[in-house]
Structure 1
Amino acid sequence: MPDAQQLAQQILDSVGGSANIADVENCMTRLRVEVVSDSSVALEDLKATDGVMATIAAGSNLQIVLGPGLVDRVADGLKALRASAPSAAAGGSSPEELAARGAEIKAAARAPSDGRTMRAIRKISAIFIPLIPALIACGLIAGINGILTNSGGGPG
């Protein structure tokens, strides 16, 4: 198993350094890195890195699958490396540039949800969401019936 700090440094080098990282988050198994420029990411180097199970790149969003436990330590190491870099988080940007970048990120986040596919998914989910309580009730009734039937106290 690779050292978490060493792996964090290798990931930092592969994504183009701290100046190319806009944000770092992690979940149970994945390290989510939002990069400033996806052209600066050495994706093949990242995939070949020992300890990286898989990578998923979608534009400026990069997900690096590391596995449970390791991802927490690598995320902490990567955040520490970014914090030690001079003004990596701000990138030397003015407040106006940061506001414009924020508006771009919001627009990009909204864009996929405005398509026909998302509208169709919303319509389908709007049909099934009211049925959930009825399905739960049917399951409970079937479970109670099964318990009573198997214990000899119910119909059947």
Structure 2
Amino acid sequence: MTDEELQKLVQHVSIESFHLPFRHQAVFNPRLRTTGGRYLLSSHCLEFNKHQLLHFGIEEFIKIIKHELCHYHLHLGGGGYKHRDSDFKKLLRQVGGSRYCGAIPGMGNSSVLQYIYHCRRCGASFIRRRRLDTRRYVCAACGGKIQLMKREKRAERNDRENEQKG
């Protein structure tokens, strides 16, 4: 699907589900990873994650479009357009939009390196995204020396934990 086809689809869904026109721009944003789409308050444009369409299909993608159009129409209409607002929740239920989008395997922050540290005194373990200077920092629980145990990607750790549970 091209940006022009997306624009026509969003306009069609807006008229069909909300009975209101969509008068701004809808585009695919290739930088989106963990979200299905977003509504830009300043320009009133909608951006969508093309991977959601490719991975989950057009039916789920239309639910994401409805979600973003809820933000759009409520904001322009002066209603509560934020996720926590009752106006947003009510309109989302009425039009059949999705509250959350599905997670795409391999997308997002699953490849982020994580550092696993261990306290020599109390044995506490903790995980950090950034490397700590073990000569400068100490355990928050007991003040003991900390030691880097290993570096691993988050996805590898999640896989190992799931194997242990199952």
Specify which structure has the bigger relative contact order, considering alpha-carbon pairs within 8 angstroms and separated by 6 or more residues.
Answer: 1
Q: Determine which structure has the larger helix proportion and give its number.
A: 1
Please give the TM-score of this superposition, normalised by the length of structure 2: 0.25
Question: Rg: which structure is higher?
Answer: 1
